Structure 1
Amino acid sequence: MPASRRKLAALTTVGAIPLALTALSATPAAAHGTLGDPASRVAACYAEGAESPTSAACKAAVAEGGPQALYDWNGIRDGEAAGKHQENIPDGKLCSANSDEFKGMDLARDDWPATKVSAGSYTFKYKVTAQHKGTFNLYMTKQSYDASKPLKWSDLDMENPVATKTDPTASGGYYTFSGKLPDRTGRQLIYGIWQRSDSPEAFYSCSDVTYGGASTAAATTKEASEPTDQQIAADADKSTVDHSGMDMGDHTNAPAAQGGSENLAETGGDSTTPYIAMGGAAALAIGAAGLFASMRRRAAGGRHVR
């Protein structure tokens, strides 16, 4: 084997492995979504601006956990939930799903941006960036809920979800489904759980709402809104979760998204899929190293024969 070819083989081998490892380390986590209507805390705060939100509650959330949580607005999850929501998430940590990154969402305050609602039918919209098969369950707090205290599981009316939907079809960037809000007064909260059926993974959201009636907080609270698609697109490079599956068109028969991200609701893929793919890249690099080493041994053996 000529010296020039041996040098090229060595360089290719050495270069392939770092590239594969770099790709592995740079692979972002899969993105999924959050309640857009009524807007969740993380969505409402992100809409105000991750670096400099305007409401007191969102400022406090950023001071507590930093702005990255807002850039990662669609990533509040538990990858090993498997339906064990109450077992895995302790009281006081419901809005962060017990994630240190999102701990600012757990602050006990009665001034979070909120959506004005009333009892009766309600159309919920879940802003989705990666589709998965699974079931949505949304729960309202009991009338006795005190927003100035940490949210506990016992604060939620778990026996009577305000909405339940399995495998909805996404359209226009949302899962849309109907529910019914119970009679309440003052400040309340809607807790969303989206449990995948093709993976143990589940996603969580807290949406603050205010009913009419005697409530100082309801009168002074900033109206919650969700981030625009333009804002999300502009900040995509600041997020640590993958937005490549985001498609604002009709997802019913959507092909694989640009960049290789597929509709996981159809493929049955889970949050490990990108890492498996990158693991394959690393394996190819290692295989290439072995191949070049074998070629070098054969070349050396040939010289000994001669």
Structure 2
Amino acid sequence: MDLKKKFLSAAAVAAVTPFVFAILPAGTANAHGYVSAPASRQAQCAAGTVSCGAIQWEPQSVEGPKGLTGCHGGNSQFAELNDDSKGWQVTPVGTSVDFTWTITARHSTSTWEYYANGQRLAVFNDNGAQPPASLTHNVDLSGLSGQQKLLAVWNVADTDNAFYACIDVNVGAAQ
């Protein structure tokens, strides 16, 4: 009878274990990268500039399939990044701007892309190179004026995913 109890106990543990792991809170992602300057929407969340949900704890985790156009990278957990009415801080810039990425997991990179109004403004090809912990691109905004929501995309070379960041700027407001 003792052997039967041990067997039933082991079977019960084996049956319940997957459910326990399913309901445990997920840990922070291994981290990746985001635009830290000018402050992207997720950087503003992390700094407490704008009240946000889970993105405040992991601004580097806005990851989704390549080719998306939303600020949240297709991740419904971060959908508030698409909400233009949240009071995002708008950075005054001239006709060019330096975008600085903070990289927390240095994935090999195919390209970095910058968009406004669905139009690609710039692309930087890294040909699979691994980026440094901080990386800056200078992007020409001379074809734009006034308040703009820019989308920055980091296309990872060895996966089907990219990292997304939206940055609110006022082009021509700084000299």
TM-score normalised to structure 2 length: 0.74
Are 1:34 and 1:73, in contact at CA under 8 Å, matched by a contact in 2? Answer: yes
In structure 2, the partner of 1:72 is: 58
Are 1:117 and 1:211, in contact at CA under 8 Å, matched by a contact in 2? Answer: yes
Return closer, same or farther for 1:169/1:76 CA change in 2, 3 Å cut-off. Answer: closer
Shift of residue 123, structure 1, vs aligned partner:
2.7
Q: Which of 88, 105, 110 matches 2:81?
A: 105
Unmatched tracts of structure 1, length 5 or more: 1-10, 142-154, 219-306
Are 1:168 and 1:177, in contact at CA under 8 Å, matched by a contact in 2? Answer: no
Aligned pair 1:194/2:154, yes or no? yes
In structure 2, the partner of 1:169 is: 131
Query: Could you tell me how far apart the structure 2 residues matched to 1:47 and 1:126 are?
Result: 15
What one-letter code is carried by the residue in structure 2 that aligns with 1:117?
V
Aligned pair 1:31/2:43, yes or no? no
Shift of residue 100, structure 1, vs aligned partner:
1.6
What one-letter code is carried by the residue in structure 2 that aligns with 1:176?
T
Are 1:168 and 1:176, in contact at CA under 8 Å, matched by a contact in 2? Answer: no
In structure 2, the partner of 1:181 is: 141
Shift of residue 95, structure 1, vs aligned partner:
0.8
Are 1:162 and 1:181, in contact at CA under 8 Å, matched by a contact in 2? Answer: no
In structure 1, the partner of 2:118 is: 156
Shift of residue 204, structure 1, vs aligned partner:
0.5
Aligned pair 1:212/2:164, yes or no? no
Q: Which of 104, 107, 114 matches 1:138?
A: 114
Name which one, 1 or 2, has greater alpha-carbon Rg.
1
- Partner SS for 1:127: strand
RMSD (Å) for aligned C-alpha atoms? 3.2
TM-score normalised to structure 1 length: 0.45
Are 2:89 and 2:168, in contact at CA under 8 Å, matched by a contact in 1? Answer: yes
Number of corresponding residues = 160
Query: Could you tell me how far apart the structure 2 residues matched to 1:165 and 1:195 are?
Result: 10
Are 1:38 and 1:125, in contact at CA under 8 Å, matched by a contact in 2? Answer: yes
Query: Could you tell me how far apart the structure 1 residues matched to 2:144 and 2:136 are?
Result: 23
Quick one: percent identity of the two aligned structures?
A: 26
Query: Could you tell me how far apart the structure 2 residues matched to 1:107 and 1:27 are?
Result: 26
What one-letter code is carried by the residue in structure 1 that aligns with 2:137?
F
- Partner SS for 2:101: strand
Query: Could you tell me how far apart the structure 2 residues matched to 1:111 and 1:175 are?
Result: 27
Return the structure number with greater strand share. 2
Return the structure number with greater helix share. 1
- Partner SS for 1:105: helix
Unmatched tracts of structure 2, length 5 or more: 1-9
Aligned pair 1:114/2:90, yes or no? yes
Query: Could you tell me how far apart the structure 1 residues matched to 2:92 and 2:76 are?
Result: 29
Return closer, same or farther for 1:183/1:197 CA change in 2, 3 Å cut-off. Answer: same
Are 1:168 and 1:175, in contact at CA under 8 Å, matched by a contact in 2? Answer: no
CA deviation map 1:65-109 (0-9, x unaligned):
x3x12112111111xx2x4x14xx6xxxx0112222111111123
Query: Could you tell me how far apart the structure 1 residues matched to 2:28 and 2:55 are?
Result: 14
Report matched runs for 1:34-49 at 5 Å: 34-48=34-48
Q: Which of 87, 95, 99 matches 1:124?
A: 99
